């Protein structure tokens, strides 16, 4: 009965014989209250995202094995269609290009979030979109919308199309901000806190984004 109450709601009849359904509403960590059905949907999404993370880990393991052949580069699979790479500086640009070509030939698009880190997009055979903003600052909402809309359109166009993001600097707060927004936008995560946590775990980092970026 309790499980049904939490997940589906329970049919009740009032004194006048009117049938209605009730379900438990929960408040979690100050987040907006959500009924049990949405909580169940969240659990399903977590299961799905866990499956995607597992697939991403398999891709990660396979690509790590290739590092000895192409030289060590920084790359993390959040899932099998969402990758975070280091900034493709001149010394490593060709390595990143070879990696993406070998792993996702003709099915990747790179998004650069570093305003001060522009590079020649021709190093990649796939398209490159510049959505740069300054380090330690929150992005202009217009740029965030542009990224989310474009990435959604790109991934919807083909099941193999993969989103590749990069910024500049060791903290990766710009990738974390936009990457977390992507996880929320495509339904991978239900809350901002969950999205941020998922992102940092995926790239094996204990950093955090700044309050202004989180907002």
- Summary mean pLDDT of the chain: 75
Whether the CB-CB separation of 6 and 36 falls below 8 Å is answered with: yes
Q: Which of 1-15, 55-69, 104-118 has the lowest mean pLDDT?
A: 1-15
User: Per-residue pLDDT for 147 more than 80?
Assistant: yes
From the CB of residue 167, how many other CB atoms can be counted at a distance below 10 Å?
28
Pick 180 or 24 by higher pLDDT: 180
Whether the CB-CB separation of 155 and 81 falls below 8 Å is answered with: yes
Pick 65 or 1 by higher pLDDT: 65
The pLDDT score that the predictor gives to residue 212 is 62
Burial label, 72 (beta-carbon count in 10 A; 0-12, 13-18, 19+): exposed
Cα–Cα distance for residue pair 76/64, rounded to 1 Å: 10
Task: Please give the structure tokens belonging to residue 118.
Answer: 């522009």
136 secondary structure, DSSP code? T
The pLDDT score that the predictor gives to residue 58 is 54
Phi, psi of 54 (to 5 degrees): -60, -40
The pLDDT score that the predictor gives to residue 59 is 58
The pLDDT score that the predictor gives to residue 211 is 63
């Amino acid at each position: 009965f309790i499980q049904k109450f939490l997940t589906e709601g329970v049919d009740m009849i009032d004194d006048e014989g009117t049938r209605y359904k009730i379900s438990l509403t929960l408040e979690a960590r100050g987040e907006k209250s959500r009924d049990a059905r949405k909580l169940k949907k969240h659990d399903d999404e977590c299961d799905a995202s866990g499956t995607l993370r597992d697939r991403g880990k398999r891709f990660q393991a396979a690509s790590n094995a290739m590092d000895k052949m192409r030289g060590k580069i920084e790359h993390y699979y959040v899932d099998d269609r969402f990758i975070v790479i280091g900034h493709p500086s001149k010394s490593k640009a060709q390595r990143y290009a070879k990696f993406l070509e070998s792993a996702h030939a003709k099915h990747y698009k790179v998004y650069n979030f570093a305003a001060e880190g522009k590079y020649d997009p021709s190093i990649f055979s796939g398209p490159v979109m510049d959505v740069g903003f300054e380090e330690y600052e929150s992005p202009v909402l217009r740029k965030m919308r542009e990224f989310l809309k474009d990435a959604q359109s790109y991934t919807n166009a083909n099941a193999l199309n993969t989103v590749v993001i990069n910024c500049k600097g060791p903290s990766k707060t710009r990738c974390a901000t936009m990457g977390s927004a992507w996880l929320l936008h495509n339904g991978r995560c239900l809350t901002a806190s969950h999205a941020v946590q998922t992102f940092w775990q995926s790239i094996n980092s204990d950093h955090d984004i700044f309050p202004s970026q989180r907002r």
